[in-house]
């Protein structure tokens, strides 16, 4: 039994209000094989991946945080989809359709969607390829851990076996443990809150004397910061990883710079003058070990759309990202979140229940989202077919109608766009703008 960390429990509970599952797409150069073989191959491996043996057990009345318990891998966790025309464009439409779904972590915190025999897949050297989409509850893993789970599942070596416990804990026992823990948690939360206030006072002083970068104001909402109303669309751009490493620019900075160009140009073409300050929320992995499966923070980074010189713009974005990361990871800032890890479950659950996603804020920390994950070497396979590329689709929200991801495996990278069709009226135009911007930034930053 593993008790869920409060940060993971927040991801689990908030998914009832805003879907936040992760979707990891992997394309494999796998020839058409018997569907039964596809299922047998992956199920045998899934049974040996410990994180894929887990399900959530709620504690009655939310007396304590949910727990992870081991279970069997049922056939319902693996779904084979049959496409009418089996073309890549149709497959992307089918993938977009599943982005609006959510797993029931009490039954299974993951589902593997298989699309066999897909034609015209980018990077494929064969007539057909296999597209696999691993859907994970965000409570189970953040981007880094999700990539590690997929690496176990699709690795060339068979994972080691997992062992089921003889008997999972009873609901009565879980309730009793929760009741015993609560008074101690309240005491620790009060002490942590006092330390958090001291850390806040310290951070204010350090900000005032320039030791750590200052806070930044939120940004105005744009026409793309709108509710997608449960509809989803995607675009995927594949390119050599080397194209995103221009000069001293990192992959993340290169893509952020390209987004700044494409996003502002799209707004202008649709009759909206872009704001002086556009920004992006960027996920930043936290250092060190953690009990939480979600070990990251989001930081808001300015995109400087008014800077005409793309080399200078990339340099300014790089500095802004470094400053936001420095501030977010400074001990006086990071420790201000410590009380949450000691807050009793009923308090956080009540906060989630009272949250209304329909409330529209005046400003946002980012006008879009960028998640950047390196998923390692290209030594993955499915039924003998090597991996071609990988992609992902950061979740949409009522004020985030367009998100981006950049994912690499081996020497190949993808830049993905996840959008609400009601929000982005012409995604083909935006895709072309983004492709052109990626070329412009690559040339400018050489």
Give 221-250 pLDDT, tens digit per residue: 999 999 999 999 999 999 999 999 877 789
Q: How far apart are CA 430 and CA 419, in angstroms?
A: 11
Give 341-399 pLDDT, tens digit per residue: 999 999 999 999 999 988 889 999 999 999 999 999 999 999 999 999 999 999 999 99
Share of the chain above pLDDT 70, in %: 99
> What residue segments make up the domains of the chain, in order of their start?
2-175, 217-444
pTM of the model as a whole: 0.95
2-175 and 217-444 have identical folds:
yes
Two tokens, residue 287: 């250092």
Give 130-186 pLDDT, tens digit per residue: 999 999 999 999 999 999 999 999 998 888 776 655 577 888 889 999 999 999 999
Which CATH superfamily does the domain covering 2-175 fall into?
A: Chloramphenicol acetyltransferase-like domain (3.30.559.10)
For the domain spanning 217-444, the CATH number is 3.30.559.30
Two tokens, residue 267: 């707004």
- Check pLDDT > 90 for residue 297: yes
Per-residue 3-state assignment (H helix, E strand, C coil) for 38-98: HHHHHHHHHCCCHHHHEEEECCHHHCCCCEEEECCCCHHHEEECCCCCCEHHHHHHHHHHH
| Contact criterion met (CB below 8 Å) for 323 and 304 | no
Question: Beta strand pairing status for 128-136 and 22-28?
Answer: antiparallel
Half-sphere exposure of residue 354, counting CA atoms within 13 Å on the CB side? 6
């Amino acid at each position: 039994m593993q008790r869920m960390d409060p940060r993971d429990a927040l991801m689990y509970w908030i998914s009832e209000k805003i879907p936040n599952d992760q979707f990891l797409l992997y394309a494999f150069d796998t020839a058409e094989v018997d569907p039964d073989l596809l299922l047998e191959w992956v199920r045998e491996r899934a049974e040996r991946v410990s994180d894929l043996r887990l399900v959530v057990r709620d504690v009655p009345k939310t007396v304590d945080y949910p727990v992870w318990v081991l279970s069997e891998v049922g056939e319902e966790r693996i779904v084979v989809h049959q496409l009418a025309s089996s073309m890549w464009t149709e497959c992307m439409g089918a993938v977009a359709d599943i982005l609006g779904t959510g797993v029931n972590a009490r039954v299974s915190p993951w589902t593997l969607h298989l699309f066999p025999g897909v034609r015209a897949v980018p990077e494929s050297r064969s007539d057909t390829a296999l597209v696999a989409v691993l859907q994970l509850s965000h409570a189970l893993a953040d981007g880094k851990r999700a990539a590690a789970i997929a690496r176990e599942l699709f690795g060339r070596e068979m994972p080691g076996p997992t062992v089921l416990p003889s008997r999972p804990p009873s609901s009565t026992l879980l309730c009793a443990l929760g009741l015993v823990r609560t008074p101690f948690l309240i005491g620790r939360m009060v002490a942590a809150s006092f330390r958090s206030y001291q850390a806040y006072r310290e951070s204010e002083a350090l900000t005032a004397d320039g030791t750590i970068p200052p806070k930044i104001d939120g940004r105005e909402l744009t026409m793309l910061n709108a509710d997608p109303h449960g509809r989803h669309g995607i675009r995927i751009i594949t390119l050599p990883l080397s194209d995103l490493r221009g000069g001293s620019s990192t992959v993340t900075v290169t893509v952020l710079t390209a987004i700044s160009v494409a996003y502002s140009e799209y707004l202008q073409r649709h009759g909206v003058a872009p704001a002086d300050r556009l920004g992006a929320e960027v996920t930043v992995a936290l250092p060190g070990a953690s009990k939480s499966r979600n070990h990251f923070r989001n930081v808001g980074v300015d995109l400087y759309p008014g800077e005409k010189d793309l080399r200078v713009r990339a340099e300014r974005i790089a500095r802004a990202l470094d400053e936001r990361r420095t501030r977010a990871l400074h001990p006086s800032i990071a420790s201000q979140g410590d009380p949450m890890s000691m807050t009793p479950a009923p308090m956080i659950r009540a906060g989630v229940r009272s949250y209304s996603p329909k409330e529209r804020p005046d400003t946002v920390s980012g006008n879009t989202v960028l998640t950047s994950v390196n998923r390692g070497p290209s030594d993955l396979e499915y039924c003998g077919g090597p991996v071609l590329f990988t992609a992902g689709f950061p979740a949409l929200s009522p004020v985030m109608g367009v998100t981006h991801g950049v994912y690499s495996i081996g020497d190949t990278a993808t830049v993905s766009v996840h959008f609400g069709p009601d929000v982005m009226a012409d995604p083909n135009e935006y895709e072309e703008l983004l492709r052109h911007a990626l070329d412009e930034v690559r040339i400018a930053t050489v």
